[in-house]
Amino acid sequence: MESNAGKPRGLLYPRPDPRHFEHVRVLPSEDLRPWVEHFWAVRWDLRGQPPYLQQSLSHPSVHWAFQDGTSRVGGPHPGRFSITLEGLGGVFSIKFRPGGFFPFVGTPVSALTRRAVSPGALLGPEALELEAAILATDVRRDADRERIALAEAFLRARLPEPDPNVALVQGLVARILEDRAVTKVEDLLTPGGPGLRTLQRLFNRYVGVNPKWVIQRYRLHEAAERLRETPPPELARLALELGYFDQAHFIRDFRRIVGRTPAGYARDGRERHT
């Protein structure tokens, strides 16, 4: 099954050798798109190769991942997420849209921030049956279609009642992603719309993190992409384009989350691909 959901964002050092890695992202059926962003599968074959440390900056999303006989539902990770890949393996996952997981469970998504829990605790024993069915397939590429069909049937049987707050939150998150002029939470306020405290409560319940976190995270996603360009952009200009007051604040935030200065990250990227 071919990817049809565009390029992934948030990978700090994209996997360098396609001979050993494969990443597929597939859009859901039309009726599930209000809640599910896409399905993704990662496969690797590192037999005879050294382990590979994959680092990423998470999205304001919930992921339900199936791997190695266990599945976990996890919310946004405030820092960078790291996993060491080795041997032969793979992961299949459902990525929910921001705000799209809450209606299925009714539990504030903030309870999942920094955490990964068993889906049975959130979605009942049928979730464990889905896990068993999905893991009864293997990591071969032609199993993706079967896995997606199983996941979609599970979700379709549990479609939540319409919730206007889902569309509201998703519209705000989309605006943050698409509009560089949104650099602070106050930029999201509109006449007649929800106030600042209401926005904070909505994001806590539906997204799991506050609007300021979402703004910063999407800007850092873009910064990581831009810093992999050849040559990388001038830092003062990039900081301004991303809405930072000055270069020093941008460097501080980038280093705190990524673990490297922007210049160091750009240099690391060049060295990994030479």
How far apart CA 127 and CA 131 sit, in angstroms, is 6
CA 238 to the chain's CA centroid: 23
Can you give the pLDDT at residue 248? Answer: 96
* Average of per-residue pLDDT values in the chain: 91
Mean pLDDT of 247-265: 95
Can you give the pLDDT at residue 140? Answer: 55
Instruction: Kindly indicate the confidence band of residue 15, based on its pLDDT and cuts at 50, 70 and 90.
Output: low
| β-pair partners for 127 | none
Mean pLDDT of 4-9: 76
Classify domain 164-272 at the CATH topology level.
Arc Repressor Mutant, subunit A (1.10.10)
Mean pLDDT of 155-180: 95
* Residue ranges of the chain assigned to CATH 1.10.10.60: 164-272
Query: Residue 1 above 80 pLDDT?
Result: no
How far apart CA 130 and CA 151 sit, in angstroms, is 7
How far apart CA 103 and CA 143 sit, in angstroms, is 28
Least confident of 5-19, 23-37, 85-99: 5-19
Between 181 and 169, residue with greater pLDDT: 169
Q: Is 23 exposed, middle or buried (0-12, 13-18, 19+ CB in 10 A)?
A: middle
Helices 247-258 and 262-272, axial angle in degrees (round to 10): 50
Mean pLDDT of 210-221: 95
